[in-house]
Amino acid sequence: MLMIFNGVLPGILFIMGVFTFVSNRKHLLSMLLSLEYIVLSLFLLLFIYLNLFNYEFFFSMMFLTFSVCEGALGLSILVSMIRTHGNDYFQSFNVLQC
């Protein structure tokens, strides 16, 4: 019972994060938050997997480091977009513009 719960819970969390990511396409901030939610659910899945086979947790620390870098890059893109365009709507700017 516990083995099924350990495998199903991160899968459900991941599917909910992907659904939130797909449904919120207007604002960059909501998309970044849903991406962080997906990363946290993948971290939970990785932690459960490594704990199940009694492996070391060095890879999970490296995964957390890269996810923090990804979050910092997303926030820097959000700040630069708000400074140049005034809001975080995707419809307010043209991608093809130089």
Q: Quick check: 20 and 37 in contact, CB under 8 A?
A: yes
| Cα distances (Å, whole numbers) of residue 75 to 33, 45, 66 | 10, 25, 14
pTM metric for this prediction: 0.82
What residue ranges define each of the domains in the chain, with the CATH number in brackets? 2-92 (1.10.287.3510)
Which pairs count as long-range contacts for 84-89, CB under 8 Å and 24+ apart, including other chains? 88/27, 88/28, 88/29, 89/26, 89/27
pLDDT digits (tens, 9 = 90+) for 4-59: 677 788 888 899 999 998 987 788 888 889 999 999 999 988 888 888 888 888 88
